[in-house]
Structure 1
Amino acid sequence: MKLGHRLTVATGSALLTAAVITSPAAFADGTASADMSRSAFRAQASAAGLTAMEATTLQNEVDTMLAKDGGRQTAANEIRYADGRLLLPLPGEKYARELGTSGDTSAAAHTCTYQALCGYSGANYTGAEREWFSCTFHQKPSGWTSGGSWYNNQTRGRVGNWYNANKQWVGSTPPAPYGTKHGQWRGIGYVKPC
């Protein structure tokens, strides 16, 4: 093989590698990585029927949560963490939902993913939804200081535990599946889904 041909192959491989590294990656669940641009999130919001003002309002809410609690934005209304995710309701809707699903606000039903312990910022499973999966201490979202609700959708029989800001046990959920439409985040600092 001639040197010129090897250089061409090497250059082509380097360009292909660079293209793969700089293009938005996708997770196994189909969500885009943090490399997804704000314009793509705005396009998602538009496809969900939001006006430009509503999309800006939603992005500002996501930015506020990212600044307070960290994480990685993976959809117009979703933030992913190593231990789960946070879904925000779209402007004008009471219940958080994945984009692409219908926004039925007529019934108070949880949307908690199976094998997760979920908290909601509002009563009756309304407002932001935080899902926790791993059996470790997870800080509750900033701003959840009163009211709210929760659903234990872990494997049957498993309990979730609530702790104060000093990680002292406060109480447990009944065995899964079980939830309460009227909970209380006051006094809770950490959640441990096991």
Structure 2
Amino acid sequence: MIETLDHVHTLTRTGVHPASRRSTRRTHAPVGRPARPRVPTDGAPSDLAPRAQRTAPVLPAPQPSPDGFGLDLGAQAGPWLVTYVRRRIASNAACCWATPDESLVIELLASEILTNAVIHGPAGGDVVVRTAYREGTFSVAVSDQSTELPVLRDPHPTATSGRGLHVVDSSAAAWGIDPSATGKTVWFTFRLARGYGTHARQR
């Protein structure tokens, strides 16, 4: 019986153990099933390495509102800043007749660029936030003291970060970066369906 099972087991002094089956060992992924990513010596899968990226548009930031509809806030970067300021921005947008849905989108986009300013700017640095409203378009501009320009990355599907500017790029009417000698300003504009004053021009 042992001879007939010689290709499956080998008999040792301590018992029966599986024998290596070199002839049936697979050296590649089965047909129709994707191969697993190779893991380098540092333990990180190679396909989690940085992927393609493109530079954000460099454009001048919008000018302040001529009729006073806007915020002008300055504070030190900190974890509290994003939550507080994004709510002020949403409230300011609502005062310009943004709908609740529009205010929510503006708050989300503002949160993304505020978070970048806090995380990537110098610790304890100054952050200045300005909003403006002009002819149906609401704008948000966030200035920090970092001269490093942000880029749009192509994150891996399993990555938990790196998509913030893609949200801004896909949802804002326009956006860009305005660099300066002391830092940069990241801004976006959002077109309101029935912003303050637009109903009068539509008659």
TM over 0.5: no
Tell me: higher relative CO, structure 1 or 2? Use CA pairs within 8 A at least 6 residues apart: 2
TM-score (norm 2): 0.26
Max Rg structure: 2
